[in-house]
Structure 1
Amino acid sequence: MDLLLRNRGAMIFLMLNLFLAMAAFGLVVPVMPEYINMLGLDGTTAGLLTAAFAVTQFLISPYAGKLSDRGGRKKIIVIGMLILAISELIFAVASNVTWLYISRLLGGIGIAFVSPAVMAYAADLTTERERARGMSYVAAALSTGFIVGPGIGGFLAEFGTRVPFYAAAAGAGTAAILTLFVLPEIKGKAEQVNTENEVGIFKGLIQSIKAPYVATLIVLLALGFALSNFETVFGLYLDDGYGYSASQIAVIITVGGIAGVVVQLGLMDLLVGKLGEYKVILYSLLVTALSIPALILTDSYWGIMIVTVIIFSACDILRPAASTYLSKQAGDNDQGYVAGLNSSYNSIGTIIGAALAGVLFDMGLILPYIAAGFILLICFAYFAAKRKAKPKTAKAK
């Protein structure tokens, strides 16, 4: 019997934890406009709250992963879910912006604990042959949580603005308790990790500037920037510009997210097979660069939904294409290193995009989307000009 099949109960718990963690992150989007109005805040604050979440996740993730190697995956998952539960509870009862910042900082720490530990646990549960299948289950839980989170937030907000966060706190706390008593502890694979080439986060970023694949990393940074710029103030834009309710905003985001996943699953292999990763990256960059500013050209609910579907679909094609292309450019010996750079560049883009989105929104509702489109167009031109960095061909062994 397959190792993955024998451990399906543990895999279900891993998927549950990651689903709840990402849903808790996503449900704030449609509810944020009401929180901003209720506490008398502005778009800049909304952007900085998102950036605060991303900063702690970026800084803590590498160390949380190492802790899970040394102290056990289960403990780190439980601690992370408890931190996340506390974060959501603080957001639910917060009466001023200081507590909102504390909540988001803790939320980033919680996600930073849960995500790498779940990924590592899933790897421990599978053989090398089953690894891709096991990771696909975990990735599906992550994507599903992010997609349905805004929908859950919009639905629960009908019963009160703070209700979604009480529900998220209860869900995360329950998952932590169940994980503590039901999920077995597991030791990591008895493989020695080579630490000779390990470098710190910031030293690695500096070194990457001279790497032949830096253009692809810049694409991932620009994508993180544009998506964060788009998503951070999307709810505020629809609320201030059109007076949409939390549930209406949630429907748009959920439909866009589902459409993106469907397009990715249905077209990704076909497009890469026909065009190759480079052209897929180039074309999806252009589509994203043009579609984000297109939001300001439509004022109908269905028009906004269609544009949102295009944005999510293009991004869901762009991200895996860029990640695959980066992996091929790096060669066989640097896969772990470039995977870390992939995450770091995306996180930096997310932090900058979120912080800038709020500032630009306060200056003018449409400015974040113009900025996102402008940055992506520059990235498109840069990536087209850097075609020289071609993928390495792995040597035959």
Structure 2
Amino acid sequence: MNKTIKEQKAVLIILLSNIFIAFLGIGLIIPVMPSFMKIMHLSGKTMGYLVAVFAVSQLLTSPLAGRLVDRYGRKPIIIIGLFLFGVAELIFGLGKIIPALYLSRVLGGISAAFIMPGVTAYLADITTTQERANAMGYLSAAISTGFIIGPGIGGFIAAYGVRMPFFFAAAIAFLACMSSLFILKEPLTKEQLAEISAKTAQTSFISDLKRSLNPLYFIAFIIVFVLSFGLSAYETIFSLFSNQKFGYAAKDIAAIITISSIFGVVVQVFLFGKMVEMLGEKKLIQLCLIIGAILAVASTVIANFLIVLTVTSFIFLAFDLLRPALTTLLSRAAKKEQGFVAGMNSTYTSLGNIAGPAMGGILFDVNINYPYLFSAVILAIGFGITVMWKINNWKKA
């Protein structure tokens, strides 16, 4: 497509709405999970397994989804992902037995693995190299915004029943599925898809992992892992850390997360493109990694509420800027392999989302400060890796 983003506003709005709805649906259920646990008589261990099942399902499906995106097109994979997401939420809302909840989480992981690569590849197809940074910034902002307002809407809807947020999430997913079906057009021709598919016809999960070790991609994928590992470890123990160390109540923690998230979204929407123009993706990534590491250490020694809010806001901002910067770089390197790269991006994200919370929880039981200190070490290592990162040849892509 040769049109600019401004000339494709309807398409852009649909794509961003799809991602927004998926993450809104995830956020919707957060306020009702404690009540849902009591109703279903679920143990903490079972809840942990349900989280793990989602991440593992997404991890295993992501490479396949990336290949399907390149083989059958972006539009059908996005539509299937949204449909599966709606089904997953509906099953969870209707579920009366634990196996049904596991089935829901498996489908949820598969849907996430389909939606993210499909939308990312579609955006890369319809944007020029110059526009891509802004487009990926919008994508990241849509994700963050869904997380921000999801819990608030979920809490309001829960007044009508503890299962209502799940039904609402299913309804908006099916609505997004239908709008995508009728409004989106496949950005690639059958000939282009056939050419890409011919290159990926013999691939498998193992072969895709081996391809991800290509120097052109590998360091970027490692940083993706570092990002998801550090962010998930930080977010997983943030509430416990804030409550036990500072004595913050739920409303205080909610205020910090909400304000920090809004700050990140505003910067992403209005400043991300300009920051990429000024610094370039590599320097922006390095800046975010080192700031994240320093502030993670600072989090262990501060106490004043305003200082905690400020530090947390900039940590979240660092992570929020890392994501679109990495995605922009990877989409540029991918050229005609957008599906593969988007799928592996999701795979490495899933690996971090599995390992981060697990390690964070283990370290938290040893010492309340250890998860943040360990996250700082991981981010610092990530910064060290980028020093040896050669990406000049990407600029020709």
**TM-score, length-scaled by structure 1:** 0.75
Per-residue CA deviation, residues 3-42 of structure 1 (Å, 9 max, x unaligned), is 9778755654444333211211233445555556774533
Question: 2:378 maps to which residue?
Answer: 375
Question: 2:58 maps to which residue?
Answer: 57
Question: 2:390 maps to which residue?
Answer: 390
In the TM superposition, residue 294 of structure 1 has moved relative to its aligned partner by 4.0
Contact map agreement 2:137 2:324 (CA 8 A) in 1: no
Within 5 Å, give how 1:96-111 maps onto structure 2: 98-111=99-112
Within 5 Å, give how 1:92-241 maps onto structure 2: 92-94=93-95, 98-119=99-120, 126=126, 132=132, 141-157=142-158, 161-176=162-177, 182-183=182-183, 188-190=188-190, 191=192, 192-195=194-197, 197-198=199-200, 199-209=203-213, 211=215, 214-235=218-239, 237=241
Q: Which moved more, 1:277-286 or 1:95-104?
A: 95-104
| Counterparts of 1:343 and 1:117, CA distance in 2 | 11
Contact map agreement 1:331 1:392 (CA 8 A) in 2: no
In the TM superposition, residue 256 of structure 1 has moved relative to its aligned partner by 1.6
Question: 2:266 maps to which residue?
Answer: 262
Identity of aligned residues (%): 40
Unpaired runs of 5+ in structure 2?
Answer: none
| Counterparts of 1:184 and 1:332, CA distance in 2 | 22
Three-state SS of the structure 2 residue aligned to 1:390 is: coil
Residue type at the aligned position of 2:286:
L
Question: 1:20 maps to which residue?
Answer: 21
Three-state SS of the structure 2 residue aligned to 1:286 is: helix
| Counterparts of 1:278 and 1:129, CA distance in 2 | 15
Contact map agreement 2:224 2:349 (CA 8 A) in 1: yes
Contact map agreement 1:50 1:355 (CA 8 A) in 2: no
Three-state SS of the structure 1 residue aligned to 2:195 is: coil
In the TM superposition, residue 229 of structure 1 has moved relative to its aligned partner by 1.3
| Counterparts of 1:62 and 1:308, CA distance in 2 | 33
Q: 1:211 to 1:41 in 2, by over 3 A?
A: same
Within 5 Å, give how 1:328-343 maps onto structure 2: 340-343=343-346
Contact map agreement 1:154 1:248 (CA 8 A) in 2: no
Question: 1:288 maps to which residue?
Answer: 292
In the TM superposition, residue 310 of structure 1 has moved relative to its aligned partner by 1.3
Unpaired runs of 5+ in structure 1?
Answer: none
Q: Which moved more, 1:166-175 or 1:16-25?
A: 166-175
Give the alignment partner of residue 358 of structure 2, picking from 355, 358, 382: 355
Contact map agreement 2:89 2:166 (CA 8 A) in 1: yes
In the TM superposition, residue 219 of structure 1 has moved relative to its aligned partner by 2.2
Question: 2:85 maps to which residue?
Answer: 84
Give the alignment partner of residue 314 of structure 2, picking from 310, 317, 334: 310
Q: 1:45 to 1:354 in 2, by over 3 A?
A: farther
| Counterparts of 2:289 and 2:300, CA distance in 1 | 19
Q: 1:331 to 1:115 in 2, by over 3 A?
A: closer
| Counterparts of 2:276 and 2:127, CA distance in 1 | 28
| Counterparts of 1:72 and 1:327, CA distance in 2 | 16
Three-state SS of the structure 1 residue aligned to 2:43 is: coil
Q: 1:388 to 1:185 in 2, by over 3 A?
A: closer
In the TM superposition, residue 304 of structure 1 has moved relative to its aligned partner by 3.9
Residue type at the aligned position of 2:348:
Y
> How many residues were matched structurally?
389
Per-residue CA deviation, residues 88-143 of structure 1 (Å, 9 max, x unaligned), is 2343455665544333222112223333444566677x586998587776665444
Residue type at the aligned position of 2:350:
S
In the TM superposition, residue 178 of structure 1 has moved relative to its aligned partner by 5.4
In the TM superposition, residue 315 of structure 1 has moved relative to its aligned partner by 1.2
Question: 2:256 maps to which residue?
Answer: 252
Contact map agreement 2:117 2:343 (CA 8 A) in 1: no
The structure where helix makes up a greater share of residues is 2
In the TM superposition, residue 145 of structure 1 has moved relative to its aligned partner by 2.2
Q: Which moved more, 1:387-396 or 1:55-64?
A: 387-396
Q: Which moved more, 1:286-295 or 1:153-162?
A: 153-162
| Counterparts of 2:338 and 2:75, CA distance in 1 | 26
In the TM superposition, residue 284 of structure 1 has moved relative to its aligned partner by 1.9
| Counterparts of 2:69 and 2:337, CA distance in 1 | 22
Three-state SS of the structure 2 residue aligned to 1:393 is: helix
